Amino acid sequence: MITNNKVVSLHYRLKKTNKDGEIVEETFGTEPLVFLYGTGSMIPKFEAELAGKNAGDKAEFGIPAAEAYGLREDNALVTLPTDTFKVDGAIDMEMLKVGNVLPMQDNEGNRMDGTIIDVTDTEVKMDFNHPLAGEDLYFEVEITEVRDASEEELSHGHVHGAGGHKH
């Protein structure tokens, strides 16, 4: 049964909005998602919907945007000088295409992915909202395995081995 500190393996289909929404991602037909339940690595509402379920169980549920990746925030839209993207004195204009996602760092060295939404000769406008911010989510899941986490997994806070982290 799914409780804290269990390793959960499951297949899922993620759709935008509702049961009839656009499929964003799915694992059916590929490797399952494997995670350590109760460590905060998943959306809290996602975990709450799985609580108490067992291998073989299926579930379908929606998560409102505010409880998923949050609402879109205007302060996550940032305009940067084009010179920010100079490498060895030159700007790779192929990199600065609308729609490209670039890894960036804030002033404290935290990594953030930003999507380019506009480029001019002097500025690049980027969106640092999560790609699914503002979207209601709908999940279809099938739990394939529930097992006790090893001491090593518990001490590291993540799954090791098949489907998990490899050191």
Give the mean model confidence (pLDDT) for residues 3-32: 96
Residue 1 lies in a domain: no
State pLDDT tens for residues 104-160: 988 888 899 999 999 999 999 999 999 999 999 999 999 999 999 999 998 888 888
Residues 23 and 10 in one domain: yes
Would you state the structure tokens that stand for residue 127, as one six-digit string? 């969106």
Residue 67 pLDDT: 97
User: Model-level pTM?
Assistant: 0.81
| CATH code assigned at 149 | 3.10.50.40
> Distance between CA 8 and CA 35 in Å, rounded?
6
Residues 138 and 65 in one domain: yes
Contact 112, 106 (CB under 8 A): yes
CA 145 from centroid of its chain's CA atoms:
22
Residues 58 and 19 in one domain: yes
Residue 47 lies in a domain: yes
State pLDDT tens for residues 21-52: 999 999 999 999 999 999 988 999 999 999 99
Residue 166 lies in a domain: no
Residue 164 lies in a domain: no
| pLDDT over 50 at 166, yes or no | no
Q: How confident is the model at residue 164 (pLDDT cuts 50, 70, 90)?
A: low
| Encoded amino acid at 35, one letter | F
Domain that holds residue 28: 6-69+132-156
User: Whose CA is closest to 112, among 93, 87, 132, 130?
Assistant: 130
